[in-house]
Amino acid sequence: MMKKSFTQLFVLVMAFVLVLTACGANNNGGNSGSKNEGTTPESSAPAAEEKKEVSFTIGYATGDPATKKAITDAIKAFTDANSNIKIVDISEGTTTSYLDWLKTKDAVGEFPDLVEMRDTELFANAGKIAELPTDLVELFKEMPQVNGKLYNAPLTLNAPQGIIYSKKAYADAGITELPKTYDEFLQAQEKLAATGITPIVVGGKDIFHMGFWLNKFLIDQVYSKDGDWNSKRTAKSVSFTDAAPVQAMTDYKELFTKYVDKGWLSTADNQTASILVSGKAAQLFSGPWMFTQIKEADPSFEFGFYALPDREGKINVIGLPSPAGWTLSAEAAKDADKAAAMSEFIRFFFSKEQYSKFLQAANGVPSTKEEVTYESTEQMQEVLKLMADPNVTKSLAINNWWGENLIPPQFRNWYYKLMQELVLSGGDVAEYMKKADAEYDTQVKANQQ
């Protein structure tokens, strides 16, 4: 009995000692500076390490105002949240080609540290860009390789283009059903023209805009049937004078001659939305990035969107992934601080909350593995349906292919200008396609030297 009492007393004493020890620790350890040391608990905590100041330049295509604004908004949101990182936006509007702009920047030593890359193979072969960090690669669904490597964080997947039309103009012309074939589309153009309205507006002043219609016809006649046509052209086993490409450019010439606004060559891409909403033209052939511009030009304007079928009634659209997107320059990637800051920006850009804002502003098709949703318009829902439809043939524009199907980098703009001349001169399509063959071979040979 006495042994038990002693044990209990010992336990109580030890407990009391532990309590006193804990109190002492709280008084002294938690306030290592007593009154004699003149410090407080707050001042004894180690100061937070200041983040290192770092800056990098960024460059991207500025032809589409809605997407440009979405990118600048993302940059601002990032720098607001990361005061130690400065992003210097060196992009500028241009009516020439984005490729030419990048080449000029490179020539004067101003190649962007972080760049929206579209001609990936060209700059990769020149040693100008670095592979995308592995931890960023894991963010995305489909990423085409170039020379067995991954370089790009795709801003969006390639989006289908189609007819953006005024619902009022269609109603006034008595067009009650959307065309099911290309010939029905041409019949609709006659009905529109009969009401006195210009059927189609084109922003031909910007050379990239020419690609919308030209690639529509090339995809219908050439690429939907043979995705390796470019490589065969390089090998000279096919020709621009073959029946399919000649038919494609014949359709293009006929459309521009009969139904396109006569001032198309002096009309800029960013003017087309206002011309459409003003009622001066009934239609525009473009992509979903135009939806925001149209809404901004006139929020009450009622318009629709549909993919233009070919003569057989099949739907063929741009929609395959291509190697393009945010890319680190090789020079900037050598700087560990810059590389880390750029990677941090890319991760921020594609974070669920931020990326949904970008997609909604730009009407983009998500490229990330993580599902990102946003409130889409009636027109954008049609775009997403096209992307999800297995019966729709997905393709790429003439200059978006890579590997063996990569065309000479300067050929696209040269060809677009040649096709502008074809319409303006009323020239013979077959003769102009002979010129395309000759120039293509010349550029291939020059690139091999």
Domain count, the chain: 2
**Is residue 62, in this structure, part of any structural domain at all?**
yes
Instruction: Provide the pLDDT confidence category of residue 51 given band limits of 50, 70 and 90.
Output: confident
pLDDT tens-digit series, residues 266-287: 999 999 999 999 999 999 999 9
The pLDDT, as a whole number, for residue 263 is 96
Q: What is the domain extent for residue 105?
A: 54-157+321-375
Looking at the chain, how many residues does it have? 449
pLDDT tens-digit series, residues 173-185: 999 999 999 999 9
Question: What are the b/e assignments for 360-373, b being 16+ CB within 10 Å?
Answer: bbbbbbbbbeeebe
pTM: 0.82
| Whether residue 302 has pLDDT greater than 90 | yes
Beta bridge partners of 393: 316
* 357 and 210 within one domain: no
Q: How far, in Å, CA of 356 to CA of 366, rounded?
A: 9
**Is residue 182, in this structure, part of any structural domain at all?**
yes
What mean pLDDT, rounded, does the chain reach?
89
Cβ neighbours around 391 below 10 Å, total:
7
**Alpha-carbon separation of residue 71 from 61, 155, 235, 266, 348 (angstroms):** 10, 10, 40, 28, 12
* 409 and 295 within one domain: yes
**Is residue 199, in this structure, part of any structural domain at all?**
yes
**Is residue 3, in this structure, part of any structural domain at all?**
no
Here the CATH number for the domain that contains residue 273 is: 3.40.190.10
| Whether residue 3 has pLDDT greater than 90 | no
* 206 and 71 within one domain: no
**Is residue 347, in this structure, part of any structural domain at all?**
yes
**Is residue 14, in this structure, part of any structural domain at all?**
no
Please check whether residue 369 is in contact with residue 352, taking contact to mean a CB–CB distance below 8 angstroms. Answer: no
Q: Which residue has the tokens 């030890």?
A: 14
* 358 and 411 within one domain: no
* 343 and 210 within one domain: no
Task: Report the range of poorest mean pLDDT among 96-100, 160-164, 244-248, 425-429.
Answer: 96-100
pLDDT tens-digit series, residues 174-225: 999 999 999 999 999 999 999 999 999 999 999 999 999 999 999 999 999 9
